Amino acid sequence: MQSNRDSLEADILEGTPHPRFSSKLIGHEKAFQAFIKSHIGGRLHHAWILSGKKGIGKATLAWKILTELSNEANATQDCDNSKVL
């Protein structure tokens, strides 16, 4: 029987932690670097398709990208706030 948490977490693969808790990105380092390089260079496309077999790390890649962009946004916001002070 699925718990309430599991039914809300579509990206969980049975027997593994949720991708947001993964400490390593395995096998998608080039894709991650390509995304970040595109973002930094101002050439980030409006949509990226992450496809492949179940369990290869698509959701983990997405979470790592989200984390990187969130950290960058927080750092930028902190810098902007320090100018006001």
Where are the domains positioned within the chain? 4-84
pLDDT at 6 over 80: no
Q: What is the DSSP annotation of 39-67? A: HHTT---S------STTSSHHHHHHHHHH
Q: What's the pLDDT band for 78 if we cut at 50, 70, 90?
A: low
Band (75; pLDDT cuts 50, 70, 90): confident
Tokens 């390509």 sit on residue? 34
How far, in Å, CA of 11 to CA of 17, rounded? Answer: 10
pLDDT in tens, 24-66: 888 899 999 999 999 999 998 899 999 999 888 999 999 999 9
Cβ neighbours, 10 Å, residue 57: 20
Six-digit token pair at 57?
């790390």
